[in-house]
Structure 1
């Protein structure tokens, strides 16, 4: 365990060494940003709208009492979406989409000896392959979380229009009532940490792959599983510290 942790830390140190040619690394960061951000926008949008709608309907069902103002459902749905659903569920989905892609891409380069070729040419392979992915993940995942929050709240409003369990006016009153900017800060901190976890763990699994196609698939699976576990653990720690 400690040996693996040492290799992980060493790989991160190598990844963030001073680049040989900044323009090459910058171009790679931009390419990864497009791949992670634009490529994940569709799945994040669909998930966010449906989760926001489902959350609002379930909260309305649980608060079906004449003694409780239905505007509270909007407030609960808003805070749940901002604090938990958008950052955490988005990160778990992105661990499957982005993380598996990172692990399989780097793992394939390892087993086909492309990484060895980079090192022979004097290129810092961890820096060229891993640091752009980490930087892009820590930049784009918070943006995706902001979009997810917006669409999640919008999905709740759509559910109010369609189901009629809560009037749209009550929902909007609840969304605006008692808003605390700290919840947005917590969501963004979670998103940055989750982005680092996904990219670094999956890159580590891919970089130390050995064997053939079967081992690449196993590394990809391990990367996704370990990332999901660490995301849930980090979610608990950040929530406890910041709230």
Structure 2
């Protein structure tokens, strides 16, 4: 019963979030700010994770494809498909669920317990829309950019480790990257990143918005938001894969 009650509460919350804004120009400026906070400030961690991710995938593939019957360029193929299909969208989304999700939940939760949200309501402002809509739109706009960056840097990281360790030559790696390339894989990952962005930001904002108590409850809500959004990311990853790649 609590599960269905939470679903209903979340649905009403999302309806409030996407109600018509009081003033579009304010929402626009706040969206630009959120793109910087949630997206641009996450570029560093995404690049670091991606370069090591690409390097590890390349090494693991190389060490597990020692059969002389397999061409060397298969390492590049495996690295490319692993990065495009799963790592640059799902794994990066899980990392961002921890970084971005906890930030959103704690920020809005702190505003709730310090009665800043109540003050907005008294002034006649739709607090849910004012605080949450720019975050969702900003994340849905910039998360695909982070996914593309992750793809490029991940593939670069695979080439880098292959070149320095000698497990694969540059020519063979490039041949593997190009061999049998399916452009739809990129589209598939971008679709996932947009959906994951919505899940992470809306779930985190929902938990922060409905905090009751003090700073301890804010911390608990932040942790719960990360856990729930991570589970939903994995669940929707399965559903989207079944729908788009079957």
Scaled by the length of structure 1, the TM-score of the pair is 0.99
Structure 2 residue aligned with 1:213: 215
Structure 1 residue aligned with 2:12: 10
Structure 2 residue aligned with 1:227: 229
Report runs of 4+ in structure 1 exceeding 3 Å deviation: none
Shift of 1:131: 0.6
Can you list the C-alpha shifts for 1:182-203, whole angstroms capped at 9, x where unaligned? 1011100110010000000000
Structure 1 residue aligned with 2:65: 63
* Of 189, 196, 199, the match for 1:197: 199
Residues in 2 aligned to 1:196 and 1:101: alpha-carbon distance in whole angstroms: 15
Residues in 1 aligned to 2:137 and 2:56: alpha-carbon distance in whole angstroms: 33
Scaled by the length of structure 2, the TM-score of the pair is 0.98
Structure 2 gaps, min length 5: none
Cα RMSD for the two superposed structures:
0.6
Structure 1 gaps, min length 5: none
Residues in 2 aligned to 1:6 and 1:22: alpha-carbon distance in whole angstroms: 28
* Of 132, 152, 161, the match for 1:159: 161
Shift of 1:67: 1.1
Q: How does 1:114-129 map to 2 (within 5 A)?
A: 114-129=116-131
Shift of 1:66: 1.2
* Of 167, 173, 176, the match for 1:174: 176
Give the paired residue count. Answer: 243
Residues in 2 aligned to 1:204 and 1:184: alpha-carbon distance in whole angstroms: 30
Structure 1 residue aligned with 2:38: 36
Residues in 2 aligned to 1:185 and 1:119: alpha-carbon distance in whole angstroms: 40
